[in-house]
């Protein structure tokens, strides 16, 4: 008997159509690139590299957007540019997973940052929780309003 948590192919179900290996700590400081200073006369090639892969593991692709979402929180144009490069909008399931993973990452970061004297990590966690609360205030209100 096949588990209800598996598809007809036997692969595990996910709420995302893009699953595979995730970086686990995908954020701007782990993306390196050559300067984009080429003009029409240069043959300079821009190279992009991702570093710091020790936390990589199988999981939903949206997991790697958690820390990137901090970079585009106040810049909807960056989020739209990301989606244009990604090739599609996030599904409702991915959007929900992103909120949940961002909240969990924030709490984890606050705890780790407090225990290891890393005020930047604590601040990022608090900032993300405040953003999530503001974005979802109406949904969290018992009356369904923005109170």
Q: What pLDDT digit, counting tens, does each position of 31-84 carry?
A: 898 876 655 556 678 888 999 999 898 988 888 899 888 888 889 999 999 899
Half-sphere exposure of 30 (CA within 13 A, CB side): 16
Per-residue confidence band for 2, with pLDDT thresholds at 50, 70 and 90: very low
pLDDT at 71: 82
Q: Which residue has the higher pLDDT, 1 or 92?
A: 92
The answer to whether 71 and 28 are in contact (CB under 8 A) is yes
């Amino acid at each position: 008997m096949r588990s209800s948590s598996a598809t007809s192919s036997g692969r595990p179900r996910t709420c995302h159509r893009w699953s595979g290996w995730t970086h686990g700590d995908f954020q701007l400081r782990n993306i390196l690139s050559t300067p984009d200073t080429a003009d029409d006369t240069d043959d300079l090639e821009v190279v992009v590299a991702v570093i710091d892969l020790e936390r990589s593991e199988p999981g939903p692709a949206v997991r790697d957007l958690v820390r990137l979402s901090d970079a585009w929180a106040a810049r909807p144009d960056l989020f739209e540019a990301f989606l244009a490069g990604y090739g599609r909008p996030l599904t409702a399931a991915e959007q929900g997973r992103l909120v949940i993973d961002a909240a969990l990452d924030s709490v984890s970061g606050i705890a780790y940052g407090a225990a290891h004297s890393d005020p930047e990590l604590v601040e990022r966690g608090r900032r993300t929780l405040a953003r999530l609360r503001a974005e979802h205030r109406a949904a969290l209100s018992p009356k369904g309003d923005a109170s």
